[in-house]
C-alpha cells in the first residue's frame, strides 16, 4: 500500500527539513522524501500550498479516564478526540480507577486502544501503588507491558525519598519520572491561583511556589541521581526559572512541559467573562499575567521542551456545581493546535518549526517514543495543518465525550487538516 | 429601581442604587415602630430562605423582614451532609423552584454559589453570604448604621480589623465604603490578609493603633478559633494582645467613634467586653437595622420582579 503526500511544506525539525517536498509512504512507513516524487502506482494526496506536513503530533499528557471513569471519556472517544486535534499519539495518565500501577491495567488500555485503532496510545504507569506515595510500583514489569513513563499525576510524589529512589530505579530502565509538582501543605484546599482575582472572589489560593518548590527539589534529586526527570504542566514563573537554571547547569536529564491554557489564559478568567466559571478551574491553576508571560518566554527561549494539553475530561454534571466543589481540569486535545498557531506562531513568538518541535519532535524525544520524525523508514505518522485557516471552537462539536472547555466560541487561526497514523488517514477535516 | 433582579453582591451595585436601598431602609424603620409591625407589600409572594450554613442572625433577620412585608416564607436549613449524599445545589434549587417561589435568599459556604444559581435558575437570588466572597446585606446594614450616626459615608475613616482573609463582610464592606467615598483601613496579621490587599482599595496595616487612630468607625471581625490549625495565628491570647480592641486603644480613635461587629463575637479574642458593651458600641443597633435594610432589599427586588412580569 502506497500513499504519496504531494505538495505542502514539510516541517521536520528532527531532520532539519523545512521546505516543499513530497512524502511517499509505503506499508505504514516513510519510504522517501524528495522533490516531485512519482506516485509509483499509489494513491496521491494533494496538499495545498501553504499547508504544513509535519511528523504526527504527540500529546504526552492526556487523561483517557478508562478504566473506571468512562462517563468522562473512554479510550475510544479519547483517541477520536486526539486524531481530530491532530495528534497521532497520546500518552495516558495512570490516575484511572483502578490506578494503572499494574501490567493488567496497562494491557487493558493497550487492548482498548488497539480496538479503537486511531491514535497510538502509550500508557504511563503509576510511580507508586495506587499513587499513594508509599510503595513503588513494579516499574520494570510495567515497562515490559508497555509503559513509557511513570507518574503519580493528579498528585505529586510528595516523599523526597520515594522521588529519589524512583529516579534511580527508573533511570536504570531509561524511563522518565514525570512529576505533578505541588507541595501538599502549600496547596492546602486551594482551588485557584493565589492572586488578586481569587482574593477578590473569595476563593482559596494556591501560590505559584507550591509548584516551584517541588520543581526545585526534584531538580536537585535529578542532579543527584542522574535519572530522567520531566516536570509536567508547569504554570509558575518560578518553575520556569528553576528549569532554565537547571538546563544552564547542564542537566540534560531535566525536561518540562507547558499546557496551552497556561500560556493563553490568566486568572482574570475567574471573573471575566463569567464569574466562577468552573471551566477555568484546573490544577495547576491559571496564574497571573507575569506567569503567563514567563511560559511564553520559556517556550520561545527553549526552556520549555514540550507542549502537552493535560486533557482532563469531566462530565457536565460534575462541572455544574459550586466552584470549590468542581473537579480540576479541562479538555485540551482538540483546541491545542489552533491555540498554538494563533497565540504562538501568528503572534510572532515562535516559528512553525519550533511549534512542531514542541508538539512532535520533543515529546517523542523526551518519552523515547517512535515518531516525531519524517526520516526514511520512520513510522508514517503525519499531521497536515492549515496554519492560516480560521477556526471557531465549538464545545458541542468536540469529539471528546466531555465538553469542559473555556475556549467555546473562540475564533482562532490554525486548523488540523488531516491526521495519518501508520500511513492510514484516520481523520480528515473538510475545511 | 435596581438594575439587577438579583442581589449577588455590592460589586454589582452603583452608588445611586446603594443610596436608594439605604433611603428605602430608612422608610422601613418606621414600620418597626408601629404597634402592628406589618405591611401588605409582599402579600402573596413566596420567599425561600435557603441556608446551607449555620446562621442565626442573618436568617432571623431575613425572616422577620419577610414577615413584616407579609410574604409567605419558607426557611430551609440544609445540613451540608445531606447535600453530599448526592443532590447537587442546582437540583435542590430546581426542586424548590418547581414550587414557584418568587425569591430565594441563600447562604452558602462556597464563594460564587449564588452566582451559579442566578445564571441557571429563574428565581431572584439574594445572597445572604457566600463563602469568603460577599455578604451584601451585611455591608448595607453597616452602611445604614454608620449613616444614622455620622449622617454621611464619604470622607469617613473606617478601620476594619480582624480575619480579613476569610471574611465576606470585609469584601462587601470595602466595596461599598469605597464606592461611597469613605477611607478604609484594613488591619490584620499578614497571615490573615488577602493577596494584594492594597488593590482592594484599602490601606493595609498590621498595626491596630495606626488603623484606628482618628477613626470615625471601627469594625471588628471575628477570629475563628480553628484558625490556629492553618498556622494563621499562634494563639487567641497572642492575637488579642496584638489586635484585640481594648478600651485603651479605643481612646486613639475620634471621640465620637462608633464600634461595630457583624457577630458572632468572640469576647476576649478580638474585642474586650468593656468595648463590646461600652458607650461607643452600636453592635445591637446593627442587628435592629438589619431588618429594615433587608425589608428594603426585598421590597426593591420585588418591585423589580413586578416591573419585569
Three-state DSSP state, B16: helix
Cβ neighbours of residue A362 closer than 8 Å, sequence gap 6 or more: A255, A305, A306, A372
Q: In this structure, which long-range contacts are made by residues A242-250, counting pairs with CB atoms below 8 Å and at least 24 apart in sequence?
A: A242/A212, A242/A215, A242/A216, A243/A215, A243/A219, A243/A298, A243/A303, A243/A304, A244/A298, A244/A301, A244/A303, A246/A219, A246/A222, A247/A303, A249/A223
Element (H, E) at B183: strand B183-187
Query: What phi and psi values does residue A59 have, to the nearest 5 degrees?
Result: -105, 110
With a cut of 80, say whether residue B237 has pLDDT above it.
yes
**Average pLDDT of the segment spanning A374-384:** 97
Please, what CATH class does the domain formed by A2-52+379-428 belong to?
mainly beta
Interface of B with A in 98-157 (CB under 8 A): 108, 110-113, 115-116, 119-120, 130-134
- Does any domain span residue B176? yes
Do A196 and B89 count as a contact with CB atoms less than 8 A apart?
A: no
Contact list in B for residue A281 (CB cut-off 8 A) is: none
Cβ-contact A65, A73 below 8 angstroms: yes
Whether chain B has a CB inside 8 Å of the CB on A321: the answer is: yes
Whether chain B has a CB inside 8 Å of the CB on A205: the answer is: yes
With a cut of 50, say whether residue B309 has pLDDT above it.
no
> What residues make up the domain containing B65?
10-135+287-308
Cβ neighbours of residue A391 closer than 8 Å, sequence gap 6 or more: A338, A411, A412, A413, A414, A415
Interface of A with B in 10-69 (CB under 8 A): none
| pLDDT, position B307 | 56
With a cut of 60, say whether residue A316 has pLDDT above it.
yes
Please confirm, yes or no, whether A153 is among the known catalytic residues.
Answer: no
* Domain spans, chain A: 2-52+379-428, 56-366
Nearest to B111 among A188, A195, A323 (CB): A323
Same domain as B302, residue B167 = no
With a cut of 50, say whether residue A144 has pLDDT above it.
yes
Which entry of A22, A310, A342, A381 is annotated as an active-site residue?
A310
- Does any domain span residue B1? no
Q: Fold match between A2-52+379-428 and A56-366?
A: no
With a cut of 80, say whether residue A324 has pLDDT above it.
yes
What ipTM score was computed for the predicted complex, to two decimals? 0.94
Kindly tell me the sign of the dihedral angle through the C-alpha atoms of A330, A333, A337, A338: negative
Rounded to two decimals, the pTM is 0.95
Q: Average pLDDT, whole number, for chain B? A: 93
pLDDT in tens, A152-200: 999 999 999 999 999 999 999 999 999 999 999 999 999 999 999 999 9
> CB A226: neighbour CB atoms within 10 A?
13
Nearest to A126 by CA among A140, A134, A135, A137: A137
Same domain as B242, residue B163 = yes
Do B90 and A320 count as a contact with CB atoms less than 8 A apart?
A: yes
pLDDT in tens, B19-31: 999 999 999 999 9
CATH number, position B188: 3.40.50.1370
pLDDT in tens, B149-208: 999 999 999 999 999 999 999 999 999 999 999 999 999 999 999 999 999 999 999 999
Same domain as B147, residue B43 = no
Same domain as B205, residue B156 = yes
With a cut of 90, say whether residue B304 has pLDDT above it.
no
Q: How many domains does chain B have?
A: 2
Cβ-contact B62, B128 below 8 angstroms: yes
pLDDT in tens, A268-278: 999 999 999 99
pLDDT in tens, B49-68: 999 998 889 999 999 999 99
With a cut of 80, say whether residue B81 has pLDDT above it.
no
Contact list in A for residue B133 (CB cut-off 8 A) is: 201-203
pLDDT in tens, A49-63: 999 999 999 999 999
Q: Average pLDDT, whole number, for chain A? A: 97
Kindly tell me the sign of the dihedral angle through the C-alpha atoms of A371, A375, A380, A383: positive
| pLDDT, position B56 | 87
Element (H, E) at A215: helix A208-225
Same domain as B194, residue B253 = yes
pLDDT in tens, B267-278: 999 999 999 999
Contact list in B for residue A198 (CB cut-off 8 A) is: 195
Alpha-carbon distance B162 to nearest alpha carbon in chain A (angstroms): 16
**Average pLDDT of the segment spanning B227-242:** 89
Same domain as B194, residue B105 = no
Whether chain B has a CB inside 8 Å of the CB on A198: the answer is: yes
**Average pLDDT of the segment spanning B58-81:** 90
Same domain as B117, residue B49 = yes
- Does any domain span residue B68? yes
Chain A interface, best mutation among B6, B91, B110, by max A CB count within 10 A: B110
Interface of B with A in 44-103 (CB under 8 A): 88-90
Whether chain B has a CB inside 8 Å of the CB on A290: the answer is: no
- Does any domain span residue B162? yes
**Average pLDDT of the segment spanning B234-245:** 95
Nearest to B8 by CA among B121, B118, B120: B118
Nearest to B189 by CA among B227, B135, B215: B227
With a cut of 60, say whether residue B80 has pLDDT above it.
no
The nearest alpha carbon in chain A to B129 belongs to A202
Q: Which pLDDT band, with edges at 50, 70 and 90, does B84 fall under?
A: low
- Does any domain span residue B5? no
Residue B92 and residue B96: Cα distance in Å, rounded? 6
Residue B78, judged by CB atoms within 10 A of its CB (0-12, 13-18, 19+), counts as middle
| pLDDT, position A70 | 98
The grid coordinates of residue A317 equal 454534571
Q: Which fold has domain A56-366?
A: TIM Barrel (3.20.20)
Whether chain A has a CB inside 8 Å of the CB on B198: the answer is: no
Residue B30 and residue B49: Cα distance in Å, rounded? 24
Same domain as B111, residue B193 = no
- Does any domain span residue B58? yes
Do A199 and B200 count as a contact with CB atoms less than 8 A apart?
A: yes
Same domain as B141, residue B282 = yes
Same domain as B149, residue B281 = yes
The nearest alpha carbon in chain B to A194 belongs to B195
Name the H helices within B180-282: 208-212, 236-243, 247-250, 273-276
| pLDDT, position B83 | 56
Contact list in B for residue A320 (CB cut-off 8 A) is: 88, 90, 116, 120
Residue B94 and residue B117: Cα distance in Å, rounded? 9
Amino acid at each position: 500500500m502506497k500513499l504519496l503526500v504531494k505538495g505542502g511544506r514539510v516541517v521536520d525539525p528532527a531532520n532539519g527539513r523545512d521546505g516543499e517536498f513530497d512524502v511517499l509512504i509505503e506499508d505504514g512507513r516513510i519510504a522517501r522524501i524528495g522533490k516531485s516524487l512519482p506516485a509509483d502506482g499509489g494513491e496521491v494526496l494533494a496538499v495545498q500550498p501553504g499547508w504544513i506536513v509535519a511528523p504526527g503530533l504527540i500529546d504526552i499528557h492526556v487523561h483517557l479516564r478508562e478504566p473506571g471513569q468512562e462517563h468522562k471519556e473512554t479510550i475510544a472517544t479519547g483517541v477520536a478526540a486526539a486524531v481530530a486535534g491532530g495528534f497521532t499519539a497520546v500518552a495516558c495518565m495512570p490516575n484511572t480507577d483502578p490506578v494503572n500501577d499494574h501490567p493488567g491495567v496497562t494491557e487493558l488500555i493497550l487492548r482498548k486502544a488497539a480496538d479503537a485503532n486511531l491514535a497510538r496510545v502509550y500508557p504511563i504507569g503509576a510511580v507508586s501503588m495506587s499513587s499513594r506515595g508509599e510503595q513503588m510500583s513494579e516499574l520494570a514489569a510495567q515497562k515490559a507491558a508497555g509503559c513509557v513513563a511513570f507518574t503519580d499525576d493528579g498528585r505529586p510524589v510528595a516523599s523526597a525519598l520515594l522521588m529519589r529512589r524512583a529516579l534511580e530505579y527508573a533511570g536504570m530502565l531509561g524511563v522518565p519520572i514525570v512529576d505533578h509538582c505541588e507541595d501538599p501543605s502549600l496547596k492546602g484546599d486551594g482551588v485557584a491561583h493565589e492572586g488578586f482575582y481569587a482574593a477578590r472572589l473569595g476563593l482559596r489560593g494556591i501560590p505559584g511556589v507550591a509548584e516551584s518548590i517541588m520543581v526545585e527539589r526534584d531538580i536537585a534529586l535529578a542532579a543527584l541521581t542522574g535519572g530522567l526527570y520531566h516536570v509536567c504542566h508547569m504554570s509558575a514563573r518560578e518553575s520556569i526559572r528553576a528549569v532554565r537554571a537547571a538546563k544552564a547547569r547542564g542537566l540534560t536529564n531535566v525536561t518540562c512541559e507547558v499546557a496551552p491554557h497556561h500560556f493563553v489564559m490568566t486568572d482574570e478568567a475567574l471573573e471575566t467573562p463569567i464569574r466562577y466559571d468552573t471551566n477555568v478551574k484546573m490544577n495547576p491553576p491559571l496564574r497571573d499575567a507575569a506567569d503567563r508571560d514567563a511560559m511564553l518566554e520559556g517556550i520561545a527561549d527553549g526552556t520549555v521542551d514540550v507542549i502537552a494539553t493535560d486533557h482532563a475530561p469531566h462530565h457536565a454534571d460534575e462541572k455544574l456545581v459550586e466552584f470549590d466543589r468542581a473537579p480540576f481540569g479541562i479538555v485540551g486535545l482538540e483546541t491545542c493546535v489552533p491555540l498554538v498557531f494563533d497565540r504562538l506562531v501568528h503572534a510572532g513568538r515562535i516559528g512553525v518549526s519550533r511549534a512542531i518541535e514542541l508538539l512532535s519532535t520533543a515529546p517523542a524525544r523526551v518519552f523515547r517514543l517512535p515518531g516525531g520524525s519524517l526520516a526514511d523508514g520512520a513510522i508514517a505518522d503525519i499531521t497536515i495543518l492549515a496554519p492560516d485557516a480560521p477556526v471557531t471552537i465549538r464545545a458541542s462539536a468536540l469529539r471528546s465525550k466531555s465538553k469542559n472547555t473555556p475556549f467555546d466560541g473562540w475564533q482562532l487561526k490554525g486548523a488540523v487538516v488531516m491526521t495519518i497514523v501508520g500511513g492510514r488517514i484516520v481523520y480528515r477535516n473538510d475545511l | 429601581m435596581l438594575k439587577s433582579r438579583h442581589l449577588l453582591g455590592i460589586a454589582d451595585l452603583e452608588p445611586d442604587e446603594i443610596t436608594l436601598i439605604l433611603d428605602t431602609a430608612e422608610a422601613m424603620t418606621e414600620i418597626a415602630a408601629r404597634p402592628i409591625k406589618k405591611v401588605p407589600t409582599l402579600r402573596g409572594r413566596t420567599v425561600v430562605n435557603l441556608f446551607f450554613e449555620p446562621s442565626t442572625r442573618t436568617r432571623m433577620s431575613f425572616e422577620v423582614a419577610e414577615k413584616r412585608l407579609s410574604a409567605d416564607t419558607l426557611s430551609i436549613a440544609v445540613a451540608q451532609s445531606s447535600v453530599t449524599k448526592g443532590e447537587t445545589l442546582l437540583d435542590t434549587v430546581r426542586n424548590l423552584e418547581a414550587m414557584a417561589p418568587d425569591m430565594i435568599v441563600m447562604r452558602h459556604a462556597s464563594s460564587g454559589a449564588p452566582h451559579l444559581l442566578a445564571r441557571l435558575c429563574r428565581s431572584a437570588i439574594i445572597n445572604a453570604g457566600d463563602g469568603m466572597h460577599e455578604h451584601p446585606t451585611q455591608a448595607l446594614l453597616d452602611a445604614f448604621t454608620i449613616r444614622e450616626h455620622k449622617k454621611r459615608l464619604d470622607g469617613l475613616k473606617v478601620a476594619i480589623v480582624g480575619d480579613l482573609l476569610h471574611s465576606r463582610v470585609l469584601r462587601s464592606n470595602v466595596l461599598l465604603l469605597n464606592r461611597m467615598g469613605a477611607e478604609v483601613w484594613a488591619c490584620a496579621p499578614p497571615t490573615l490578609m488577602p493577596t494584594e490587599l492594597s488593590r482592594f482599595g484599602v490601606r493595609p496595616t498590621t498595626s491596630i493603633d495606626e488603623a484606628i487612630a482618628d477613626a470615625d468607625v471601627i469594625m471588628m471581625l471575628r477570629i475563628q478559633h480553628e484558625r490556629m490549625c492553618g498556622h494563621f495565628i499562634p494563639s487567641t491570647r497572642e492575637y488579642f494582645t496584638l489586635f484585640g480592641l481594648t478600651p485603651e486603644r479605643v481612646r486613639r480613635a475620634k471621640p465620637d467613634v462608633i464600634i461595630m461587629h457583624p457577630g458572632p463575637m468572640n469576647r476576649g479574642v478580638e474585642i474586650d467586653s468593656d468595648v463590646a458593651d461600652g458607650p461607643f458600641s452600636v453592635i445591637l443597633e446593627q442587628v435592629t437595622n438589619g431588618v429594615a435594610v433587608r425589608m428594603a432589599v426585598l421590597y426593591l427586588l420585588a418591585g423589580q420582579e413586578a416591573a419585569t412580569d
